[in-house]
Amino acid sequence: MKLFSNPTTESKDNTDQPSLSTSEPNQAWNLFRRVILATLLGGSAIALTKVVFFPAVNQNVPVTFPEKISLPEWQSEISPAKEASLSRPDADKLLGFVNGKSYQYRQGEKVLTIKMRYFSPSIGDVKAYLTYYNRGIPDSLLIREKQGTGYYGLFNKNQQTHLTTCLTPKGGNIFKREQFLQVRYQSDIRPERFLPWVIGKVPLLDNRCLWIDMSLSGTESNSPSSDYLILEKAWFSWNDYWRSRFEQFRS
Amino acid sequence: MTTFPLPTISDLKKPEFWLLGLAGCLVAIHFTLTDRTKDAQDFLGLSILVWFAVGSLINRKRQSLQLESGIGATLLGAFLIAIILLRTANATVNPGLSFIPLLGGFGLALIASGFKGIRQYWRELIILGLLAVPKELGLGMFNISDFLSLLITKIVGFVLWYVGFQVSRQGNQLFFPSGGIVINDACAGVGNLIYLIQVAIIFLLVFPLSNRKNILLVPIVALALAFLMNLIRVGLLAALSPNNPDAFVYWHEGTGSLAFTFIVVIIFGCYYLFLLRRENAKS
């Protein structure tokens, strides 16, 4: 019973192969082949040893947040919020929270609080972050776009006006997951990332994100639109500060 | 009695020795990483089956294999294997465990037998390619799970009512006096259907049948068995759910859930053995 090997094709294969008439190049070729095989075997033994005994652990390097960042027209204050208040144990693991910091500024009666949270790997969805860390998405949510920078959301909740957006390493700010994925495909598939991706150093898409949540309180006006203007202005310079830094930051 | 000669220094000159060592290392790396990945129990099982199938195929024809290769094929194969080694050694997340066996198989086949000799390994390469078929295929691309879950709910609801349970059905939900269950797309068992088809293809390649009718019958029987077993599973879960939550968890996501796959593969194996025996008896 011979079911598996087909003798006709195999004998044909043998005749197809160019037979080396002289023994001289044959010898050299055999040696070369053995060297390649030995190198590969050695390499795979090293790789196996590394995989079994020294597995690479996924370490997320936390972003180093400066103690103070100057913001034009705003007076920096010591933030009363501690770092622990930025994390929520039930959501951190799910959303990939790494670390964060809270900043506070004052301009007369107006108080500006900026909460920075770093996610890696992130799902790139500010709505999910608001749901888990700010307890829900208000109905007044507006999504706006600034040309060349990206998308941000504005809303009013508990006498506080918020500007909230996600800064990505390359490709600007996003608000929705669709925007995040679109920006990832547009800006992460580039030649200099190809080799690191092939050897498994970086993922295909750089899915990190820095969530900026700015909230303004203590304004006299009852119309949120003037608050929005103040927030947008502060955000433009804040975003510029972080954009270049985050692009250079490697996890 | 057979004797096993120990390897000697002269064996180092043969490419088989090096190729076998390389293949062994690649399998070990793949096994280690798959074993370490969480929620990949079914993939690990299929991987072991695939490695055994490929090993057995190669072992059978090891005497007749033509092991001559050219420089281009050797370099390309070495390049493929080098990429795999770098990826797996660097990997912090899944380095592409479903593609690595196929790529590694191509690399090894190119080094061993060159571009022309790769035809000797078509069965092995198809079997390795089975690992690259994503489990999500049935859920995403061919959206059959909604249809299947509805069908399963109807059949299970009917059978439970027939044997005397007080049950009512609404869409893909079953209600009992003391509670209810939802049969969602994961319960539709698309994963099991794909798994059984993969097992059927491996069987057909490793133990070929000659009768064409039987060859067509094998995947159909595999699908039917997987569907039937899933019906029994959902029926059991539905009957357990109202008053026995511990048992429900055991059969739904615990060790019990694996037992169904185990049993269905055993039954399928018996059926296949029966087909093989019958064919051999005829010839």
Task: Give, in degrees to the nearest 5, the angle at Cα B255 between B254 and B257.
Answer: 75
ipTM: 0.79
B264: amino acid identity, one letter: V
Contacts of A51 in chain B (CB under 8 A): 29, 32-33, 88-89
**Phi and psi, residue A197, nearest 5°:** -70, -40
Contacts of B86 in chain A (CB under 8 A): 47, 198-200
pLDDT at B142: 64
Chain B 89-108, residues with CB within 8 Å of chain A CB atoms: 89-93, 95
User: For all residues of chain A together, what is the average pLDDT?
Assistant: 81
Q: B135 to chain A, minimum CA–CA distance in Å?
A: 21
Pairing mode, strands B173-176 and B168-170:
antiparallel
B33 in contact with A at a CB cutoff of 8 Å? yes
Contacts of B93 in chain A (CB under 8 A): 58, 203
Contacts of A17 in chain B (CB under 8 A): 66, 68, 114, 116-117
Q: pLDDT for A79-116, tens place per residue?
A: 776 666 788 887 888 888 888 888 999 888 888 999 99
Q: Around Cβ B178, how many Cβ atoms within 10 Å?
A: 9
Please name the residue of chain B whose CA is at the shortest distance from the CA of residue A47: B89
Cβ-proximal residues to B49 (8 Å cutoff; 6+ apart), any chain: B199, B202
User: For chain A, which ranges sit under pLDDT 70?
Assistant: 1-25, 58, 81-84, 221-222, 250-251
**pLDDT top residue among B100 and A58:** B100
Q: pLDDT for B265-279, tens place per residue?
A: 999 999 999 999 998
Per-residue confidence band for B242, with pLDDT thresholds at 50, 70 and 90: low
Percent of chain B exceeding pLDDT 70 equals 92
For B232-241, what is the mean pLDDT?
81
A190: amino acid identity, one letter: R
Q: Which of B9, B25, B123 to mutate to test the interface with A (most CBs of A within 10 A)?
A: B25
pLDDT at B136: 67
Q: Which residues are A106's β-sheet partners? A: A75, A111
Grouping H, G, I as helix, E, B as strand and the rest as coil, residue A170 is: coil
pLDDT at A60: 76
- Return the half-sphere exposure (C-beta side, CA atoms, 13 A cut-off) of residue A75: 7
| DSSP per-residue string spanning A107-147 | ETTEEEEEEEEEESS----HHHHHHHHSSS--TT-EEEEET
Cis peptide bond upstream of A121, omega within 30: yes
Please name the residue of chain A whose CA is at the shortest distance from the CA of residue B19: A37
Residue A113 and residue A101 in contact, taking contact as beta carbons nearer than 8 Å: no
